[in-house]
A = this chain, B = another copy of it.
Amino acid sequence: MEIAMSDTATAAPYQATDRTVPTRSRERASYDRELVHGLLDEAYVCHLGFVRDGAPVVLPTLFARVGERLYIHGSTGSRPLRAAGQADPGLAVCLTVTHVDGLVLAKSAFHHSINYRSVVVHGIAHEVTDPGEKRAALDALVDHVVPGRSLDSRPANAKELAATAVISLDLNEVSAKLRTGGPNDDPEDLALPHWSGVLPLTPGYGAPVPAEGLDPALPVPDYLSAL
């Protein structure tokens, strides 16, 4: 899995805050915009956290990035989206994305680990009410799943737009955290007779499965084969 290039290679990093500086393994933290954008764009779902009745709730959901803003959509009846629309000044959220890259087997149980790349975004989510921004966000959500697909599907009609709520979350308080490489065994354990190293995880795609009843003359589109 390669980190995708972004359009802000020369931008300043995100400003670290009290809650984006980890208490542990600080050397694994990064505030690099290009890195963060790539990790976000590579993920199909995020885990969105919010507080309901004083307790945390974490739900997986689709999202998309447009520049320095993330979008999440859902039914106008869904609880977090309703809350973001009603609350003033919005809904406090934490949006997290994680890629698991490998299993790290050390000589000692203690140093077993996982290679991963994650992004954590803290902020206040707001409902998107501008019709133009809402349409662009919905296109971005489709294109986040399959780049180029929004141009090859029927756009949302008025009824669908009315049934869909979109919330936005700006990328201000953001950090990435990465673990890469082999096990960090203690020197005195290196001679132990256990295999040690990394088992990489390799995500991939299967063959496209046409919808039931799809006209067999319709070819698999190039933007899908490209994945």
Contacts and interface: CB of A to CB of B under 8 A. Distances in A.
Interface of A: 19, 23-24, 44-45, 47-52, 54-60, 62, 74-75, 77-79, 92-96, 98, 100, 102-103, 105-110, 112, 114, 116, 118, 120, 122, 138-139, 141-142, 145-146, 149-150, 152-157, 160, 164, 182-183, 185, 189-190, 192-214, 218-221, 224, 227
Given A145-B112, A200-B206, A51 B60 contact: no
Contact of A23 (B54, B79, B154, B211): B79
A58 B218 contact: no
Given A199-B208, A201-B204, 6 more contacts: A47-B96, A59-B96, A60-B116, A112-B153, A195-B224, A198-B208
B195 A214 contact: yes
Contact of A204 (B49, B107, B110, B203): B203
The A contact surface, by secondary structure, is mixed
Contacts of A219: 195
B205 A200 contact: yes
Nearest to A135: B109
A194 B122 CA distance: 38
A110 B160 contact: yes
Nearest to A163: B110
B209 A197 contact: yes
Contact of A146 (B75, B95, B105): B105
A139 B110 CA distance: 10
B23 A199 contact: no
B98 A47 contact: yes
A211 B184 CA distance: 9
Given A112-B149, A164-B110, A195-B218, A19 B211 contact: no
Contacts of A94: 49, 55-58
